[in-house]
Structure 1
Amino acid sequence: MVLTRSVTIWVLMSTMFLTNIGFGIILPTLPFLSQHLGASTFEMGLAMSVFAGASLVASSIWGGVSDRIGRRPVLILGIVGYGVSSALLAFAPSVAVLLILRFLSGLMSSAVYPSSMALVTECTAAQERARILGYMGSINGIGFICGPPLGAFLSLFGIQVPFVSVGLLSIINGLLALYLLPRTSKTAVAAQGTAELQVRWLQRFRHMLQNRMIAPLLFGTFALSLADASISTTLSYFVTGSLRSTPTMAGWAFMINAGVSAVAQATVFSRIFHKCGEVGTIVIGMICGMIGYLAMGLSQLLIWAFLALAVLSFGRGLSYPSITTGISLHTAPQLQGSMFGSQGTVGSLGRTLGPLLAGWLYSVQERSPFFFSGGLLMLTAAIFLLFYLTRMKAKKQQAEG
């Protein structure tokens, strides 16, 4: 049993690593493919937005499906489906077909996160979950770092090559999961009849609202995703414009933003989590993020911007896996997929609204997106502190009573 669980975790890490390499390959090459098809600037932006919009719609649905039919088939379907739809992008004859395929890619890729996280939860004990989820987050970040340079290299052989390569990589990834992931029994939800399944959907939402820990964790996910948009959307403009640097330095800035977070999750996250608890770790991460964003907004030199990026990336490396671990610990086993699907939904909502808000703020004042993100994380940290103090007071009154 120990061997099977270890193999499952390693296979999940491998599949998530390969999946994020695929994401990273497509991200820098998609604008060039869109341009090749004659897309306008608006249509290139729309190609990014429809992917996030599809994830927003489908994440919770896929989570519920994984609760009913099992994690493994949903995970494999998501991996292979994302790869096939991404490979077909290389042969898109028009912008309209490209947008449809991007929507399908987002639809299929949104199955990967809730099913894989729920499978990790089923394979780990509560005391080791923070460490494993920290490793998962780290390997995801490393895969995303490796993807863009690999995509740039592959594009030298033709604009279609990166997309076909992602399709082949995903098929290999799906076969790896098919042959190595153990077959697990269906969850308790899967054993219910159709009428009871309909009731279960209502029970999931009621469970989410009644659980006093879940709602703050979902809000924290939304806040982090929304704040992150100020980096992903405006960082290149800020580095090359306000700081008068080069596109190469902008690329290094993205490497720092992803790399420090990956290192933090792999090294110090689990130790801080076990020492400070989930709320304490979230608050520490949010405060680091707040300091980093505010320092970013005040930066006049590239070196200070890089240091600010390192601080906010370190904060994200603490707060996000702590939120994910908290969700897994406060959710019933048969609802893990649905709850991680809900987390994926609110995260996609932040990634959908964030670029629009960050772009508008940048047009008003080029540093305002970073100040907004810093203020948002400060508010989120205060909410978690208030929640923690309220919970401690309630426990003390209960003990005295």
Structure 2
Amino acid sequence: MSVSMQSPLPTSRWSLGVLLASAFIVALGYGIVLPVLPTMVERLAGSTDPTFAARHIGFLTAAYVAAPLAVAFLWGRVSDLIGRRPVLVVGLIGFAVTLAASALAPNLPVLYVGRILNGAFAAAVVPTALAFIADTEGDDDRRARTFGWVSMASIAGFLLGPMLGGLAAGWAFDTGRAASSLQAAPFLLASGLALAAAGGVRLILPGGRVTGHPAETKNRETSSFVPGELRLLALASLAAAGLGAFEVGLTLRNNELAMSPAELGFMFATCSVVMFAVQGLVFSPFVKTAATRGLVAPAFLVMAIGLAIIPAIAGFNEMLLAVSVVAASAGVIGPLLASWVSRLTARSQGVELGIQSAVVSFGQSIGSAGAGLLFDLNGLQGTAFLAAAVVMGAAALASVRLPQQLAVETGDPGDASARSAPK
């Protein structure tokens, strides 16, 4: 098929709005399952064994986030060839269909297949949206802020998702009504929203393929890694592993702390509010992009401290504080690394962000599965958080010299330390 070529234009408000809505809905579909996953596993497996539930909760979460490993790069390559719009439309429609299938799964194997396919289609959405922004936003500060807005939209979806899932599971428990229908309702709502977003993308987003953003100076067809890029990708994967272990570990600790599904949903909602607030500050016009280089190592260190204290906490209010600490740091790390990778890369934006999505999914799947396995072992439940804390501490050490290295690679003349730092 022929593909029209378009000159790069700044991202319009309508285009940005539909991209943010797409990111929001995909996050909603992911977050909505977390509070109801324990009861879904019990209902579909016919078992109330906590170790059995812990193992499958970890694996189901890992199945969703691992799926992009196989397809994220392909989605990115296809979006480079045929344009961002058709990939976003297909991704959102596929996400809607597989989300509905997951909600109506009659048994655990079907739920696994549904979550794998759901994650595979979700992998097409946010990286392609970011690639569209990278194509059209030539100014570094504006592009970094827009990346932050996409991340904030995802966090807003993650905020609402656990609340809906927690309310559904809590209502089923309190009223004694059919749990399956109540658990399915939020899934189907998110599925309908994904279909609506696909229609919005089709109507609003420009078609065709963008030739490159105005500030383009590099060869975007190269397959090599530029200096510093592998370090950023590795750090992104480690951050995702910590976040995956945190999400699954928090979901499983609700039994130990006697939290209701609604309280667990509130916990995740608080996590999302904190992320939203922190990102709103970091990616505001008041913070220059160059200044964000120095935030990665402190954010990893704060995340390590938050994860380390969670196993010692027994109260709901104290847990809420620890969750907020982890959320604040995680809310800084992810979009910062995505923005800097996009700025450094010598590849096309679709391929590069597909690669980043794959490495992040790899880290998150390892963290999710590892937390589930450790919670499956008696007496080692807290080890999941402690292991994640150690990894985050190591990432903090690896990030200490990152500001100077990024200044060298981007050629920032305003950083005196960059001029003396070795490559």
- TM-score w.r.t. structure 1 length? 0.83
What RMSD over aligned residues (CA atoms) do the two structures have, in Å?
A: 3.2
Q: Which structure carries more helix by proportion?
A: 1
Q: Deviations over 1:193-237 (max 9, x none)?
A: xxxxxx95xx42x2x2xx122111111111111111232122244
Residue equivalent to 2:412? none
Partner of 2:274: 260
The equivalent residue for 1:24 is 31
Q: Distance between the aligned counterparts of 2:39 and 2:13, measured in 1?
A: 41
Q: Which moved more, 1:122-131 or 1:344-353?
A: 122-131
Deviation at 1:264, TM superposition (A): 0.9
Residues 1:380 and 2:395 are matched in the alignment: yes
* Cα deviation, residue 289, structure 1: 1.5
Deviates more, 1:99-108 or 1:117-126: 99-108
Cα deviation, residue 103, structure 1? 2.4
Paired residues of 1:289 and 1:374 also in contact (CA < 8 A): yes
1:273-305 residue CA offsets vs partner (Å, 9 max, x unmatched): 527534312123222212322333444544333
Partner Cα distance (1:385, 1:13) in 2: 32
1:165 aligns with 2:180: no
Range that drifts further, 23-32 or 260-269: 23-32
Map 1:3-22 to 2 at 5 A: 5-22=12-29
Q: Within 5 A, what are the aligned runs for 1:111-126?
A: 111-124=124-137, 125-126=139-140
Secondary structure, counterpart of 2:401 in structure 1:
helix
Counterpart pick for 1:295 among 309, 320, 323: 309
- CA–CA separation in structure 1 for the residues paired with 2:62 and 2:105: 18
Give the whole-Å Cα distance in 1 for the aligned partners of 2:271 and 2:110.
Answer: 33
Alignment counterpart, residue 331 of structure 2, candidates 317, 326, 329: 317
Bigger shift: residues 67-76 or 45-54: 45-54
- Structure 1 residue 307: Cα displacement: 2.0
Residue 163 of structure 2 contacts residue 265 of structure 2 at CA under 8 Å; is this kept in 1? Answer: no
Q: Whole-Å Cα distance in 1 between the matches of residues 168 and 312 of structure 2?
A: 38
Deviation, 1:45, is 5.2
Say whether the 8 Å CA contact 1:240–1:250 is kept in structure 2. no
TM-score normalised to structure 2 length: 0.79
Partner residue of 2:349 out of 329, 333, 336: 336
Q: Retained in 2: the 8 A contact 1:59–1:111?
A: yes
Aligned to 2:384: 369
Contact 1:279 1:384 (8 Å CA) reproduced: no
CA displacement 1:358-395 (0-9 Å, x = unmatched): 23444353333333222222211211213445658773
Q: Using the TM superposition, give the Cα deviation of residue 36 of structure 1 relative to its aligned residue in structure 2, in angstroms.
A: 4.7
1:358 counterpart (357, 371, 389):
371
2:318 corresponds to which of 283, 304, 307: 304
308-317 vs 379-388, greater mean Cα deviation: 379-388
Q: How many residues align?
A: 381
Cα distance, 1:10 vs. partner?
1.6
Sequence identity (%):
25
Q: Distance in 2 between matches of 1:301 and 1:154?
A: 24
- What letter matches 1:8 in structure 2? S
Q: In structure 2, do the counterparts of structure 1 residues 302 and 104 end up closer, same or farther at CA, with 3 Å as the change threshold?
A: closer
Would the aligned equivalents of 1:293 and 1:370 in 2 still touch at CA under 8 Å?
yes
Residues 19 and 360 of structure 1, relative CA distance in 2, 3 Å threshold: closer
Cα 1:342–1:239 shift into 2, 3 Å: same
Shift of 1:15: 1.9
Q: For residue 115 of structure 2, what is the aligned residue in structure 1?
A: 102
Residue 112 of structure 1 deviates from its aligned partner by 0.9
Give secondary structure in 2 for the equivalent of 1:182: coil
Which segments of 5 or more consecutive residues in structure 1 lack a partner in the other structure? Answer: 189-198
Matched, 1:224 2:239: yes
User: C-alpha distance in 2, partners of 1:90/1:294?
Assistant: 34
Q: Distance in 1 between matches of 2:286 and 2:307?
A: 22
2:198 match: 174
Distance between the aligned counterparts of 2:309 and 2:23, measured in 1?
32
| CA apart distance, 1:30 | 5.2
Structure 1 counterpart of 2:129, one-letter code: S
Deviations 1:320-353 (A, max 9, x none): 1111110111124x61111111111111111211
Structure 2 residue 285 is matched with structure 1 residue 285 = no
Quick check: 304-313 or 383-392, which moved more?
383-392
Alignment partners' CA distance in 2, 1:46 and 1:39: 17
Decide whether the 8 Å contact of 1:59 with 1:342 is kept in 2: yes
Q: Which residue of structure 1 aligns with residue 3 of structure 2?
A: none
**Distance across 2 between alignment mates of 1:38 and 1:297:** 28
Alignment-mate amino acid for residue 142 of structure 1 = A
Are positions 1:72 and 2:85 aligned together?
A: yes
Which stretch shifts more, 275-284 or 218-227? 275-284
Please give the secondary structure, in 2, of the residue aligned with 1:385: coil
Instruction: Note if contact 2:62-2:368 (Cα within 8 Å) is conserved in structure 1.
Output: no
Query: Residue 39 of structure 1 contacts residue 95 of structure 1 at CA under 8 Å; is this kept in 2?
Result: no
Asked if the contact 2:75–2:124 (Cα under 8 Å) also holds between the matched residues in 1, the reply is: yes
The one of 84, 99, 104 equivalent to 1:86 is: 99
Q: Would the aligned equivalents of 1:284 and 1:319 in 2 still touch at CA under 8 Å?
A: no
Secondary structure, aligned partner of 2:67 = helix
The alpha carbon displacement at 1:37 in A equals 4.4
Alpha-carbon shift at residue 86 of structure 1 (Å): 1.9
Displacement, 1:98? 3.7
Q: Is the 8 A contact 2:162 2:269 kept in 1?
A: no
Q: Residue by residue, what CA displacement relative to the aligned partner does 1:145-199 show, whole Å, maximum 9, x if unpaired?
A: 11233345567654443333333221111001110112243547xxxxxxxxxx9
Residue ranges of structure 2 left out of the alignment (5+ in a row): 1-7, 48-52, 173-180, 213-219, 409-415
1:90 deviates by 4.7
Give distance in 2, aligned partners of 1:294 and 1:95.
33
